[in-house]
Amino acid sequence: MKSILDEAKEITSGARRKDYGTPLENHTLTGRLWAEYLKLPAPISPEMVCMMNILQKVSRSAAAKSATRDTCVDIAGFAENLDEILRSK
């Protein structure tokens, strides 16, 4: 079985990248949409989008009173996306 980190890296660099664009592109658009929906004066940064997605996964795990492997893979994937965004600047 692959490690959680290897699985997350494979997912974020494979089909999802082809379907949704780079993490910077996708999370920038998400930040703009969230800000518009919330009527904020400025977009939410792509870095904050990654962190907020991680927090959503943590919240779901807390509500379920357990963490699943899938949740851990998703958290690792958002952390991988964040790392790529930070390295691109």
Whether residue 30 is predicted with pLDDT greater than 90 in this model: the reply is: yes
Closest of 63, 88, 59 to residue 75, by C-alpha: 59
Whether residue 57 is predicted with pLDDT greater than 90 in this model: the reply is: yes
User: What does the mean pLDDT of the chain come to?
Assistant: 96
Whether residue 15 is predicted with pLDDT greater than 90 in this model: the reply is: no
Average pLDDT over residues 37-62: 97
The reported pLDDT for the residue numbered 83 is 97
Calpha distance 26→20 (Å, rounded)? 6
Confidence class for position 88, pLDDT limits 50, 70, 90:
very high
Helix 4-13 × helix 69-87 angle, to 10°: 60
- Which pTM was predicted? 0.93
